[in-house]
Amino acid sequence: MFQKPSVDSSLSNEEKYHEDEVETVVGPSVHVEGDFNSAGNILIKGSVAGKVSTNKLLTLEEGSKVTADIKAGDAIVSGEIIGNAKIENRLELTPTARITGDIKCDILVVHAGALVQGKVSMTGLDAPEKNSNQTSTRSRVKSKKGSDDSE
């Protein structure tokens, strides 16, 4: 007779968190100015004008705005960033995401509709390129030494 309502799989970012998992919430009517550092998860619904940094998850909800560089372990962006984003692991850009600045991350997920104006670099491509450059430089140095010994 009484049925539980079906659970919607498309939960908002706030509903994906348990209360204990979010350490800091910047509400929709809040405007923070200055650098913002945390060791826990950050959920931004309002605006921040200053650097935002966390080792864990940074979530920018739709309508939020960060005007400065961000640094996080992981990030889900549905709002706007005007600045560079350095994400250690995974960056997800939802359809409402807007980023004006450079992105550096390990894994990038971009949903249709997200907008990025800037350079995107992923850390997985850096390592092999650096190793091949170092190897070729060493071999050149060795060959120069070898040619000096023969003269």
Going from N- to C-terminal start, the domains of the chain cover 13-122
Cα–Cα distance for residue pair 16/7, rounded to 1 Å: 12
CA 148 to chain centre: 49
Q: Please, is 75 exposed, middle or buried when counting C-beta atoms within 10 Å of its C-beta (0-12, 13-18, 19+)?
A: buried
Residue 76, strand partner residues: 59, 92
Cα–Cα distance for residue pair 51/122, rounded to 1 Å: 21
How high is the pLDDT of residue 112? 97
Is residue 42 within 8 A of residue 52, CB to CB? The reply is: yes
How high is the pLDDT of residue 127? 57
DSSP per position, 114-143: -EEES-EEEGGGHHHHHHHHHHHHHHHHHH
How high is the pLDDT of residue 100? 98
How high is the pLDDT of residue 128? 55
How high is the pLDDT of residue 82? 98
How high is the pLDDT of residue 145? 45
Stated pTM of the model: 0.70
DSSP per position, 30-83: -EEES-EEESSEEEESSEEES-EEESSEEEE-TT-EEES-EEESEEEESSEEES
| Listed residue (38, 44, 96) closest to 72, CA to CA | 38
Contact residues for 106 (Cβ-Cβ < 8 A; gap 6+): 87, 88, 89, 90, 122, 123, 124
pLDDT digits (tens), the chain, 151 positions: 444 443 343 334 444 444 457 788 888 888 989 998 999 999 999 999 999 999 999 999 999 999 999 999 999 999 999 999 999 999 999 999 999 999 999 999 999 999 999 999 998 665 555 444 444 444 344 444 444 444 4
